[in-house]
Amino acid sequence: MDKTAAFISLGCKVNSYETEAIRSMFENAGYKIVDFKDAADVYVVNTCTVTNIADRKSRQMLHKARKQNENAIIAAVGCYVQAAKDKLLEDGSVDIVVGNNKKTELLELVEQCLKAGSDRDAENAGETGRNTETGSRVAVSDVSSQRLYEDMNVSSVMERTRAFIKIQDGCNRFCSYCIIPYVRGRIRSRDEADILAEIKKLADNGYKEFVLTGIHISSYGMEKRDDAGQTGIHNPLAALIDKIGAIPGVERIRTGSLEPGIITEDFIRAISGVRQFCPHFHLSLQSGSDTVLARMNRQYTSKEYYDKVLMLRKFYENPSITTDIIVGFPGETDKEFEETVSFAEKVGFARTHVFKYSRREGTRAAAMPGQIPEKVKHERSERLINLSNRAASEYRELFMGRIEKILVEEEYKLDNVYYQLGHNERYVKLAVQSETDLTNRLINARVKEKLHEDIMICEIIH
């Protein structure tokens, strides 16, 4: 009988990529992959620890897996493991705990568990081995000392059109609210040849759009910066994008979240020369108040950020500029919040992800005075969300009457009418009415009207 394995990924796109890589590892070893809600021999929970809520969700998923099959092997991997290994070792729901930079060892540990069965008396095998008190198998190292990128690869992904490609791990910034540098370690960049080989394989398999992701992709290649100059492009990320654009079958290239500091005229000039690069920039802001930015340790001012926005708009027509904003950061006054509101109005973001500050133990911000009451955070969040929705609607209106290229991603049904739904290069949702499956096809269509919420309806141009 086939051994079965189920997977769930919590948190960011980096976790999603790593879960796909682990899933491929198990699939190649002969495991049958089943849905997480089904009975399985092995459950893998790729955990998140960005907030206390994420910690709780991680624990809930582990306990859910145990309830689904009391005899299954339950593996907790990732960021929450890195932050709370000892707590997990005391949890009777968990058989295996694997931290960051050790995920490639998971299959071997699972095989050991399956072979050992119910035996809980094995000898202690050291850092990567058996915990004699709990019976758990452990692979957790101090990520702060890691300098090598952990090689993980995917040959297929769950989405049919778009593939996320992890290009780096770790972060050196230490924003005062963020636990991630402590659980992901310092920046480590993936080998360029490995990235290009993975994208070529996926492009050969029919994927057309590639999103470069990582913990802090603006720092990609900075620890080995001399390599970038071989292309004549001096920023390593821009050099990588240039090489990806030369791969046959690649129709679109996007990046995950970027820091304002990477946006220079040289960088934009380089990527604007790559036909497939999409003018969609998720430029992380967090606050429009300089005093709050300083407390966050964000290392730029609102003016510097706005200068980058103007630079992007100089090179691209109506680029999609999206962002994240945290409201209710410790000590945020009414005046500071109003500065953020005014700044967001001034920029006119295509989309804003609004987060209420969540106190995270282990960060400097958790110990800061002036923690904001939940009621105030909620009120500020609602106001900024309303502003964001208006700005997003105004941005979508810019495309009315224009001919746009849509990469169709899925079928969408509304009021018994079938549509083919996808995005244009600037990541605006567009749909054409059709019962024919157009998934993974690039089509030209004229934007006609609003369909529903954030979707615009188009007519195909033949």
Q: Packing angle between helix 236-244 and helix 265-272, nearest 10 degrees? A: 10
Q: What is the pLDDT of residues 386-412, one digit of tens each?
A: 999 999 999 999 999 999 999 999 999
Edge to edge, what strands does the sheet with 320-327 contain? 280-282, 320-327, 351-356
| Sequence spans of domains, the chain | 4-141, 162-397, 403-460
pLDDT at 265 over 80: yes
Written as one letter, the residue type at 64 is K
Q: Which residues contact 114 (CB under 8 A, 6 or more apart)?
A: 3, 41, 42, 73
Cα dist from 425 to 74, 122, 232, 405, whole Å: 41, 55, 26, 7
* Pairing mode, strands 252-255 and 320-327: unpaired
- C-alpha to C-alpha distance for 129 and 138, rounded to whole angstroms: 5
- C-alpha to C-alpha distance for 98 and 86, rounded to whole angstroms: 12
pTM across the whole model = 0.89
Q: What is the pLDDT of residues 149-171, one digit of tens each?
A: 777 777 666 667 899 999 999 99
DSSP conformation letters of 139-152: E---GGG--SPPP-
- C-alpha to C-alpha distance for 206 and 294, rounded to whole angstroms: 45
What does the pLDDT read at residue 282?
97
What does the pLDDT read at residue 124?
40
Q: What is the pLDDT of residues 331-387, one digit of tens each?
A: 999 999 999 999 999 999 999 999 999 999 899 999 999 999 999 999 999 999 999
What does the pLDDT read at residue 310?
98
Q: Which residues are paired to 75 by β-bridges?
A: 44, 96
- C-alpha to C-alpha distance for 254 and 213, rounded to whole angstroms: 9
68-72, 216-220, 307-311, 346-350: range with lowest mean pLDDT: 68-72
What does the pLDDT read at residue 130?
40
pLDDT at 56 over 60: yes
Report the chain's C-alpha Rg in angstroms. 23
What does the pLDDT read at residue 129?
43
pLDDT at 141 over 70: no
Q: Which among 281, 269, 274, 385 is positioned nearest to 327, based on CA atoms?
A: 385
At which residue do the structure tokens 């470069």 appear? 212
At which residue do the structure tokens 């955990």 appear? 47
Q: What is the pLDDT of residues 229-249, one digit of tens each?
A: 455 678 999 999 999 999 999
Fold of 4-141: Rossmann fold (3.40.50)
Q: What mean pLDDT, rounded, does the chain reach? A: 90
- C-alpha to C-alpha distance for 363 and 86, rounded to whole angstroms: 19
Q: Which residues are paired to 226 by β-bridges?
A: none
What does the pLDDT read at residue 120?
41
pLDDT at 65 over 50: yes
Q: Which residues contact 125 (CB under 8 A, 6 or more apart)?
A: none
What does the pLDDT read at residue 281?
98
- C-alpha to C-alpha distance for 61 and 67, rounded to whole angstroms: 10
What does the pLDDT read at residue 91?
82
- C-alpha to C-alpha distance for 263 and 31, rounded to whole angstroms: 44
What does the pLDDT read at residue 259?
96
Q: How many helices (H) and strands (E) does the chain have?
A: 12, 19
pLDDT at 227 over 70: no
Q: Which two tokens stand for residue 90?
A: 């005391």
Burial of 370 (0-12, 13-18, 19+ CB in 10 A): exposed
Decide if 45 contacts 178 (C-beta within 8 A): no
At which residue do the structure tokens 């919420």 appear? 453
pLDDT at 133 over 60: no
What does the pLDDT read at residue 119?
46
Q: What is the pLDDT of residues 93-132, one digit of tens each?
A: 899 999 888 899 999 999 998 887 644 433 443 444 444 3
Q: What is the DSSP letter of 366?
A: G
Domain 162-397 has CATH 3.40.710.10: no
Bigger pLDDT: 454 or 133?
A: 454
At which residue do the structure tokens 């987060």 appear? 355
